[in-house]
Amino acid sequence: MDQNSRIFVAGGRGMVGSAICRALAAKGFDNVLAPTRDELDLGNQAAVAEWFAQNRPEYVFLAAAKVGGIHANDTYPAEFIHDNLVIETNVIHSAWQNDTKKLCFLGSSCIYPKHAQQPMNEDQLLTGPLEPTNELYAIAKIAGIKLCQAYRRQYGFDAISLMPTNLYGPGDNFHPENSHVIPGLIRRFHEAKQEGREKVVIWGTGTPKREFLHVDDLADACVYLTQNYSDEQFVNIGVGEDTSILELAKLIAKVVGYEGKIETDPSKPDGTPRKLMDVSRAHELGWRAATGLEEGLKETYEWFLENQKAARL
């Protein structure tokens, strides 16, 4: 991948895709294609095929996906499996058909079994039942991995797959119901501070532990491994450390400046008890995350404050 290569970032206007665009620009890649959803509907097979035939990107970062938290996954299960399967199939197939040199597919840590041994290494895929609250999204992402492996085995197509842990950062979705935990809590603590509320109640017991990766670190990993890795084995992308949801809530309250009480609601679902990535393979390949959690939360809150009108609220 040289600085004049034609590079397609699928989902380039989303949180992950825009971070990849930033990372590419910072490294001097100036021939990046990132069409909007109005310009290219990735769910339309004919439109995707035509776009690839016309633009013939040499490198593809497949960051487009339908994503959301527990509530969104539970409310829209058909959309989560259908939309993601269609996007993956359309982009991967068209990339191969149009002689793309390399494709980087992004999955999710939810591909692992609900009770996977911690930390989760890449060999644990398909070794047990999935977490029911996001099973259909996980199945779609597993299918994406297998698509990449199949096209590599049958056609020699250079497709790699990266599995990031829970992401956060600039460009996140701060919707009160459909967001992930960090943007959701940032918004709730911010509003509680503004309104002078005495307490904030968080879903579940607060005991599940999660690992959080700043989206710019993921983008850096995508560019680095696209340039330095080629194999059908997917690679975990994370920080190798986790924190409980209650500890996370306390840290976000500190960053936001909320000084009220934090209570848990055990009647709400916890999701998977723990999700910690084994990132030794990524480390062996020469990549490590660089952003600390508190530092990343401060940056994300600053972005939220500066972009409330433009953010997905």
Q: Which residues are catalytic?
A: 137
Q: Do the annotations mark residue 267 as ligand-binding?
A: no
216 assigned ligand-binding residue: no
Question: Which residues have CB under 8 Å from 233's CB, separation 6+?
Answer: 122, 281
Closest CA to 234 of 131, 118, 137, 152: 152
Q: What are phi and psi of 60, to 5 degrees?
A: -130, 130
164 is in an annotated binding site: yes
16 is in an annotated binding site: yes
Any binding-site annotation on 288? no
Cβ atoms of 42 and 52 closer than 8 Å: no
- Is 240 annotated as contributing to ligand binding? no
Backbone angles phi, psi at 168, to 5 degrees: -155, 165
- How many residues in the chain? 313
CA gap 112, 93 in Å, rounded: 25
Is 171 known to sit in a ligand binding site? no
Using a 10 angstrom Cβ sphere, with 0-12 exposed, 13-18 middle and 19 or more buried, the burial of residue 102 is buried
167 labelled as ligand-binding?
A: yes
Alpha helices (runs of H) in 162-292, residue ranges in sequence order: 181-195, 215-228, 245-256, 280-284
CA gap 238, 153 in Å, rounded: 27
Residue 82, marked binder: no
Nearest 5°: CA angle at 183, between 177 and 185? Answer: 80
Strands 243-244 and 209-210: antiparallel
Distance of CA 94 to the CA centre of its chain: 22
214 is in an annotated binding site: no
108 among the known binding-site residues?
yes
Task: Find out whether 69 is annotated in a ligand binding site.
Answer: no
Give the three-state DSSP class for 113. coil
Q: Is residue 296 marked as binding?
A: no
Annotated binding-site residue? 203: yes
Q: Which residues are annotated as a binding site for NADP(+)?
A: 11-17, 106-109, 141, 164-167, 180
Q: Which residues are annotated as a binding site for substrate?
A: 188, 203, 210, 270
**Annotated binding-site ranges:** 11-17, 106-109, 141, 164-167, 180, 188, 203, 210, 270
